[in-house]
Structure 1
Amino acid sequence: MFLLNILLAIAWSALTGQFTPLDLAFGFVLGYGILWILRRQLRGERYFVKAPQMVRFVVYVLWEIILANLNVARVVLLTPKERIKPGIVAIPLDIRSDAEITMLANLITLTPGTLSLDVADDRSCLYVHAIDVGDPEQFRRGIKEGFERLVYEVFN
């Protein structure tokens, strides 16, 4: 369904004769609407559940990256060295597949100020280094209720 949506966006741009990002985006939204109307005939209802989840996922990740950049700038520029509390925190995992764990680890590493270090052999937890941990339990809860929950939604 996603590829069909992309093809509809390209067809829209071809019909209008303009291949600008705005025209392609409009064609994608228009194609999404057409596919939504035809979802039962095309048996593509799962696409219309996953597409909003993916949009929410991307927006959340971008927002977290912006917040993390601001936090790292605050820590580096405004926090005295003796008050910075770097640390390694074990995050217990509810997700189990290699793809899910890899996605979570990459998202954590992509976020400034954090770095995924290792996964336990039994995949029960992920070890994460943070530039300023503060409260380890709050840090764990933030990862589990944020990134891990969204990764689970997208993959399941």
Structure 2
Amino acid sequence: MIRSLRWLMPHPFLTLLLAVVWTLLQNSVSAGMVVFGIILGILIPWATAVWWPDTPRSFHLTKMMRYAVVVIWDIMVANVQVAWIVLTVPNAKLRPAWIVVPLELKQPEAITMLAGTITLTPGTVSADLSDAGHSLLVHVLHTDDPDAVRDEIKDRYERRLKEIFA
């Protein structure tokens, strides 16, 4: 039965996530908004399914939850750090850097999550992915040691994503 519903809901987790997020974004919860959220949760993945790559063969939800906690914490810490840099470091003393992060990740979903994580974290932006997908170009607002930033990205994010998508 579940396989027969795959044509209707190609990404069931995304369907559920979209329905929940839509409902939470409303000022009040009503049956109409929940139903509309479910409709959106079904229509959006269905309409965009042709552009999705194959679904990952394995995915560890508990590790993903831990990863989300790490990313949320890093975003909060980076907000404070960037505010401190903006308020205390004169423009002439800023040391921005372009960093090439070699990737061990192979799955497009994992690489996308890594690039998104880097961009979501204040002070860093994913700027480009190499044609072969072997490295990511990252811009950092201020750093004394670009190699340490690269190593931190690989250890803090890429290592965890390899475990999630193993």
Instruction: List runs of 5+ in structure 2 lacking aligned partners.
Output: 1-11, 17-28, 30-57
Identity %: 38
Q: Which residue of 2 aligns with 1:101?
A: 111
Q: Which residue of 2 aligns with 1:129?
A: 139
Q: Which amino acid aligns with 1:155?
A: F
CA RMSD of aligned residues (A): 2.2
Tell me the CA shift for residue 77 of structure 1: 0.4
Q: Which residue of 1 aligns with 2:71?
A: 61
TM-score, normalising length: structure 1: 0.66
**Aligned partner of 1:80 among 90, 97, 117:** 90
Q: Which amino acid aligns with 1:116?
A: S
Quote the Cα distance in structure 1 between the aligned partners of 2:124 and 2:131: 21
Q: Which amino acid aligns with 1:118?
A: D
TM-score, normalising length: structure 2: 0.62
SS in 2 for 1:116: strand
**Aligned partner of 2:156 among 143, 146, 150:** 146
Larger Rg: 1
Alignment length (residue pairs): 113
Structure 1 consecutive aligned stretches of length 4 or more whose deviation exceeds 6 Å? none
Quote the Cα distance in structure 1 between the aligned partners of 2:125 and 2:80: 17
Tell me the CA shift for residue 91 of structure 1: 0.4
> What CA deviation, in whole Å up to 9, does each residue of 1:71-93 have, x standing for no partner?
10011001122221011100011
Question: Going by fraction, where is helix more abundant, 1 or 2?
Answer: 1
Q: Which residue of 2 aligns with 1:52?
A: 62
Q: Which residue of 1 aligns with 2:51?
A: none
SS in 2 for 1:118: strand
Q: Which amino acid aligns with 1:94?
A: E
> What CA deviation, in whole Å up to 9, does each residue of 1:35-56 have, x standing for no partner?
xxxxxxxxxxxx9x93431221
Q: Which amino acid aligns with 2:142?
A: D
Q: Which residue of 2 aligns with 1:11?
A: none
Quote the Cα distance in structure 2 between the aligned partners of 1:129 and 1:57: 22
Q: Which residue of 1 aligns with 2:101?
A: 91
**1:118 equivalent in alignment to 2:128:** yes
